[in-house]
Amino acid sequence: MIPLSAYLSVSLFLFLTGLVGIIIRQSPVVMFMCIEMMLNAVNLSFVSFARYAPWVASGDITQTASQWMTGEITVLFVMAVAAAEVAVGLGMIMSIYKNEPDVNVDALSNLKG
């Protein structure tokens, strides 16, 4: 069986890639993609933990269904929220794009003192 740490390593790698991407890229669309990547890295660790939970691994059916399924449900929840967030965020990007010639994040500094 593949150990938990392998899944977590992939998750960490994805998360860091997303983080670095969000820091170094200037395009808001790419930054959104990076955010998605980070969210999915977290989702991966959720499902991994859910699969490797002791009572799941040992097949202990005395636990309730919610305890069996918590990780997966949270992942679904995160995906739903992320979808909503993207809808809002892309809308904002579109409206900025209507007013500004370029949607470079660094150039959007009108509120800076």
Torsion angle of C-alpha atoms 70, 39, 109, 98, degrees rounded to 10? -100
Under the criterion CB under 8 A, does residue 92 sit at the interface with other proteins? no
Task: Give residue 26's Cα distance to chain centre.
Answer: 19
CA distances from 65 to 58, 71, 73 (A): 15, 11, 11
> Which one among 4, 12, 19, 33 touches other proteins, defined by CB under 8 A?
19
Quick note: the x/- pattern for other proteins over 62-91, rule CB under 8 A, is ------------------------------
**Minimum Å distance from CB 47 to other proteins?**
22
Give the nearest distance from C-beta 4 to other proteins in angstroms: 18
Contacting residue, 5, 9, 26, 63, with other proteins by CB under 8 A: 26
CB-CB neighbours of 38 under 10 Å: 20
In the block, tokens 């967030």 appear at 85
105 binds other proteins (CB under 8 A): yes
Q: Which of 54, 58, 98, 106 binds other proteins (CB under 8 A)?
A: 106
* Contact call for residues 95 and 108 (beta carbons, < 8 A): no
Nearer to other proteins, 20 or 76 (CB): 20
